Amino acid sequence: MDVIGEYTIKDFPKNRLGIVDYLDEAQKRHTITGLFEVDITKAREWIKNYKKDTGTSISFTGWICWCISQILDNNKEIHAVRKGRTKLVMFQDVDITIQVEKSVKGKKVPLPYVLRRVNHKSVSEITQEIRSVQKQTFDEHDVQVLGNRRKLRILARIGVYFPKFIRARFWKRVVWDPISMKKLSGLVSVTSVGMFGKYLGWAIPLSGFPISIAIGGMGKKPGIVNDTIQIREYLALTLQFDHDIVDGAPATRFSADLADYLETARGLDLISENERDSL
């Protein structure tokens, strides 16, 4: 018997070519990465009690996106993008790409979707938008499409048949032109790896965005609260910044602010009675 054993060969999925081409260009970005844990016990209890009392649920990822957008709204220099060698472009609106898990031809597939102007929306409005997207119908061509624009869906269908050098020129323009990237995907990526597993652990994003945040696993372990040891629930987070724009100090301050927002359940108490009825 051959030592190799039995094997099969099949075609590489064409709907993955756009993702590969984008990552080839995006990984040229200089990045700084940080990993840390956040005590989310208070927030998890609030969301659980809210669902118990109202029968509706708040999107955990949506709430984190709200927290991120509020911090960036107050620290716009972190949200800047380099244009050429001498310019920085600073946008007022915070657009965030998230992954929405959908069923495509019977398989669970995470599809990218762009939440626009997140810093101008409430937690409940973000939750409503995510829930609406989860109910939409997609097909295999949408796996590499950001947002829900019709032109992009058409491009996804025909673009895979273009030669590699043409596709590479397109993605080079998207990655390094601030206006094109903002229009296509926004400048922030939030990937919730935790929705595919229940164990505490980190993920290193490969998104190539100026700001990338990977929501890792959640798990319980002992923590110190008021000088006593208690069982707490922790979330693993990975933050990645464009090092051309952000140094260690601003990145650390952003991380500390985000940790404070998450640990104190900031924003969840702002959900009004009218918003509760709309969820």
Position 28 scores a pLDDT of 80
Assigned domain for 90 exists: yes
Question: CB neighbours of 152 closer than 8 A, spacing ≥ 6?
Answer: 145, 146, 184
Assigned domain for 243 exists: yes
Query: pTM here?
Result: 0.82
Q: Which residue has the higher pLDDT, 2 or 125?
A: 125
Percent of the chain that is helix, strand, coil (3-state, to 5): 45, 25, 30
- Please count the residues of the chain: 279
Mean pLDDT of 253-270: 93
- CATH code (residue 245): 3.30.559.10
Assigned domain for 2 exists: no
Assigned domain for 185 exists: yes
Assigned domain for 91 exists: yes
Assigned domain for 5 exists: no
Position 118 scores a pLDDT of 96
123-158 pLDDT, tens digit each: 999 999 998 888 876 655 554 444 445 555 556 666
Mean pLDDT of 35-40: 92
Give how far Cα 70 sits from Cα of 83, 112, 189, 216, 275, Å: 24, 22, 15, 21, 19
Q: Structurally, how many domains does the chain consist of? A: 1
Assigned domain for 50 exists: yes
65-100 pLDDT, tens digit each: 999 999 999 988 888 888 888 888 999 999 999 988
The range of the structural domain enclosing residue 262 comes to: 14-272
Assigned domain for 268 exists: yes
Q: Which residue has the higher pLDDT, 236 or 279?
A: 236
